[in-house]
Structures are given as C-alpha cells and as structure tokens.
Amino acid sequence: MKGADIRVAPDTSQRDEAGGDRHGLLHGFKAIELGGVAGQMCGRVLTDLGVDVIKVEDPDGDPVRSLEPVIKGQSLKFTFLNSGKKSVVLDHRDDAGREALHSLASEVDLVIVSSSNSVLEAWDLDLDRLHEELPGLVIVSVTGFGREGPFADFAYHDILGMAMGGLMYVSGDPDGSPVTAPETQASYFAGVFAAQGAMLALYRRETDPLRRGALVDVTAQQALASIEQLIRIYGRQGRVPVRTGSQHKHVAPARVYPTKDGHVSLFVTDQHWSSFIETWPDHPPELDDPSLNATQERMARLDTIDKHVREYTGRYASEEFVERMVAAGVPCTPVNSLGEFLSDAQTEYRRLLGKVNQPGLGEVLQISFPPLLNGHRVEPRPAPHLGEHTEQILEGLGVRAGGSVREIET
C-alpha cells in the first residue's frame, strides 16, 4: 500500500477532557540538547513526555539536517528526531555564544549532550564542572563509547555501536556477513536508555529535599552489550553465540518460514507445541513423538522439524496461515513490510500515526509517542527550522548573547 493512501488519523482533541495530561506528564520542565542522533532520540522521548526541549545548533545547523532521506530539502531523519523541539542558534566560536549556552544551562532542568569531547571543549563545556556549578541540574551524556576510558577518543559512527556491542555478530545469515539494524538503531537504543537515565535522575531530584541533580552517562556500546545474554552465556558456558539467521537461540520451531506469497514468523514454545500440531491434521507421524514436547528435543532435531514445517507453511498464503495459527493461539505473524505494518488495522485503530503540518513538507503523518497515557495519544508536532526560537528563548530566559545570536531565514 502506498503511504499517501492511508487515512489521516482522527482528531484526538478529546484527550483534553481526560484532564492533566494534555500538555504531557512533564509539562513545565525544560531541557537543552546538544549533539547528534543518540541525544536527539533521548530529546524526542522527553519532548513526547511534555518536556520543553531546546535544541542548540551552530549557525551552520545540525549536521542531521542533511542526512538522508532528504525530500524537498528536508531530512526526514531530522524531522522525526526533532518533532516538537525548539531550535536556538548559538555560535561556539563567539564568547557570547558560549556564555549564552551556560546561561541557558542554568535556566533548565536537564541538559542532554551527545557531542564528542572535542566539541564540548569548543563550547568550553566541562560536564563535571557544570555538575559542580549547577548541582540541581540533571546532565545526561550519551555517546558511542563514553567520555573516559581506552576508547573515549575513538571516531564513532552508528554501525560501530552495533558491532562493538555484540548484537551485529549474531544478526544475519550464518553463511553471509553480519548485518546491522535499520536506521541508526544503536544510537536510538542508547537514546532510549539515556531517556531512562534522565527520568530516573529527575524523579530522584523531585523527591529529594535538597533537589540534587545528577550526572548520567550512557553509551551505545554498553547498552547493546548488556542485552541478548551474550556476556552471561560466554562467562558461564564458555560458548560464543553465532549467527543463526532468524532461528531463535532456544525455541523451535521459532523462525521465519516461507509461504506461497511471502513469509511468516512462527514462535512455538512448549505451551504451544500440541496446539500447533493439532492445526496440522496430516502432519508426519514422527512429530507425534512425545519427547518433542520439550523444546530442547525439538532444537536437537531442528533440521527435521524445519523441513516439515516449511512444507506445511508453504501450502498457504501468509494471511491464511497466520489466521490458522491465531485461531489456535499459536504466536505467528506475517513478515510485513513497514508500510504493511503502518496500514495494519491494529495500527490504525490505535492511531499510532499523527497528523503534522511540517513546513517544507506539508501535511504528513508521523509516528506518535508509543505509549497511550490514560487511553490518549500524545500527538507528534513539527520539527523546528534552524534558529526558529532563538529570539523567543533567549529573551524569555533573559539571556543575552550579543551579536552571536542570529536568526537564520529559511
């Protein structure tokens, strides 16, 4: 289905009547954000939670503004990540610009920083010093490897996080190369953890009689290395998990199987095995072996299981096969394209996509904040053009930046 065909999400203004969350859970809190994709993902989450997030950009603009996909001169990556934020232009090369950044920091609740150490030096921004000077501030650093340690000065790019964090080695066809995840997933994932850290520290501050802030530090490498049980499995068993394609590590049949017109993802645990077999009246008799009720045994005979299951799934179109499984309570979904997911009845029912009037692009549908809060959808908002809020923010905060502050016309 073509994206432009989807019906525009219905008006959700009734959420105002629910009271309280109209402006977001954190209405009234302010943050500034400096740096690349991981920090911008963190900032997007905070924006959706109601924080007023002010993005600080150089006069040349955030480099993410030029990342693909670029349509009508607008980076869609930038548009997604910066939905609902404000843009302030400051120049780190001017004393007044650097001073304005420090003044802004003293006026907000949170500072999110994902720039490299050398960029922070150019801003004269030392996070430890900032923490001492403004002890009530929640300062969140999110980088590829960290600000200190043997890899602190390594050049970083998203695919390095996926590789050095271990998830890439176990993703892909065993006969081919490892494959990284779509978009800049390592940075997004780190950004989500940074948002968690920011909120943990903010809640501690809000419940602390002394209102102490914190220094929060997240890295993409550590975030990824902490999942998928890789470290525990190696440490305990001395075993190195390898690529298995879509095959799950412990469960079978649990992988992608071909159908007449596509593929399905099947996940049959011990509690589903007998129901699964019941959906399959002419299954091979060898699958009736009671020892196969245990997934360990099904994993041991994976080749046989796979051969038979492929034959079974191959008789049906994906939709037909999924219906059979769902009716029997067996976890199964089609392998959808992104467009198929976005136009799925469930996605539409829950209004995941929100209408945004994005200058330069016109009316578009954006992914909204995932959680429904008291049953209501937080709507996405437009991303700012460069320097759109410079005057408003600096005047509103009583910050003077002299000649260094420029509003850039777009």
Partner 1 sequence: MVEFTTALAGPLACRYLAEAGAEVIKVESGGRGLDSFRIFSADGNLDGSARFLESNLGVMSILLNLRSDEGLGLAKELIRECDVLVDNFRPDVMERLGLGVEAVQEVNPKMVIVKLPGFGSTGPRATQGSWGPNLLAHTGMTHLWNLPDHDEPIGTQSVYPDYVAAAFAPAVISAALVNRERTGRGTYVDLAQAELMGYMLGASALEWFVTGIDPEPLGNRSRDVSPHGCYPCLGDDRWCVVVVETDEQWARLARLMGQPELAGDSRFDTVVGRLTNRAEVDALVSGFTSKMGPFEVMSTLQGAGIAAGVVQTAEDLWSDPQLEWRSAVAEVTHPVLGTMAMPVIPIQISEGGIVAPTSAPLLGEHATQILGELLGHSEDQLDELRERGVLS
Contacts to partner 1 from residues 284-313, by CB under 8 A: none
Which residue's CB is nearer to partner 1, number 90 or number 353? 353
Return the C-alpha torsion angle 175, 179, 182, 184, nearest 10. 180
The alpha helices in 238-362, defined as continuous H runs, are 270-278, 295-300, 302-313, 318-327, 338-342, 345-349
Tell the smallest beta-carbon distance from residue 123 to partner 1 (Å): 21
248-278 burial, b at 16+ Cβ within 10 Å, e below that, comes to: eeebbbbbebebeebbbbbbbbeebbeebbe
Asked if 112 is part of the footprint of partner 1 (rule: CB under 8 A), the reply reads: no
Query: Which of 15, 104, 112, 156 is in the footprint of partner 1 by CB under 8 A?
Result: 156
Q: Which stretch binds partner 1 (CB under 8 A): 98-106, 234-242, 280-288, 389-397?
A: 234-242
Q: Is 102 helix (H, G, I), strand (E, B) or coil?
A: helix
- In the region spanning residues 23 to 62, those forming contacts with partner 1, defined by CB under 8 A, are 25-26, 45, 49-50
Query: Which of 96, 170, 277, 302 is in the footprint of partner 1 by CB under 8 A?
Result: 170
- In the region spanning residues 62 to 91, those forming contacts with partner 1, defined by CB under 8 A, are 67-69, 71, 76-77, 79-81
Tell the smallest beta-carbon distance from residue 34 to partner 1 (Å): 19
Which residue's CB is nearer to partner 1, number 59 or number 262? 262
Pairwise CA distance, residues 105 & 111, whole Å: 7
Asked if 280 is part of the footprint of partner 1 (rule: CB under 8 A), the reply reads: no
Q: Which stretch binds partner 1 (CB under 8 A): 54-62, 98-106, 194-202, 277-285?
A: 194-202
- In the region spanning residues 333 to 352, those forming contacts with partner 1, defined by CB under 8 A, are 333-342, 344-347, 349-350, 352
Pairwise CA distance, residues 351 & 59, whole Å: 37
Which residue's CB is nearer to partner 1, number 267 or number 280? 267
Q: Which stretch binds partner 1 (CB under 8 A): 178-186, 282-290, 308-316, 396-404?
A: 178-186
Pairwise CA distance, residues 91 & 33, whole Å: 15
- 310 neighbors 255 (Cβ within 8 angstroms): no
Q: Is 292 helix (H, G, I), strand (E, B) or coil?
A: helix
Query: Which of 230, 252, 292, 393 is in the footprint of partner 1 by CB under 8 A?
Result: 230
Furthest C-alpha separation in the chain: 82
Which residue's CB is nearer to partner 1, number 284 or number 370? 370
Which residue's CB is nearer to partner 1, number 11 or number 395? 11
- 399 neighbors 103 (Cβ within 8 angstroms): yes
- In the region spanning residues 118 to 137, those forming contacts with partner 1, defined by CB under 8 A, are 131
Q: Which stretch binds partner 1 (CB under 8 A): 53-61, 92-100, 202-210, 298-306?
A: 202-210
Pairwise CA distance, residues 118 & 359, whole Å: 33
In eight-state DSSP terms, residue 67 is: P
Among the listed residues 47, 45, 43, 7, the one whose alpha carbon sits nearest the alpha carbon of residue 27? 47
Query: Which of 90, 192, 287, 292 is in the footprint of partner 1 by CB under 8 A?
Result: 192
